[in-house]
Structure 1
Amino acid sequence: MEFHTFYDYFLYTKNWAYVMMFVTLPVYVLYWNTVLFPKKGPWLFGDDDEH
């Protein structure tokens, strides 16, 4: 993709930074709480309450 001005490039990269931030953070939190430490917190899926 070509950028005619530096401002277009800045807006494009800044939008992608926000998109990747809002996409990767919830995925990382779900991965951390389900795969790595599934028994740590009772706030996710109520694991400690059911068992």
Structure 2
Amino acid sequence: DPRLVEIDDREIVSEGGLRSRSKNTCFEGARLQGKVLRTVVAGRTVFSA
């Protein structure tokens, strides 16, 4: 399924920014590169940032 990704975007992981119901992560404070902007499944957008 296609995804639209911004590869130059950088983000620092924080508990408040997680979309999961589980708010714990070993990546807290990590600086990550790349961000998914949109995911399409069977021709329908199922995620949009």
Range into which the TM-score falls when normalised by the shorter chain: under 0.3
The structure carrying a bigger strand percent of its residues is 2
Higher relative contact order (CA 8 A, sep 6+): 2
Superposition TM-score, scaled by structure 2 size: 0.19
**Larger Cα-atom Rg:** 1
The structure carrying a bigger helix percent of its residues is 1
Superposition TM-score, scaled by structure 1 size: 0.19
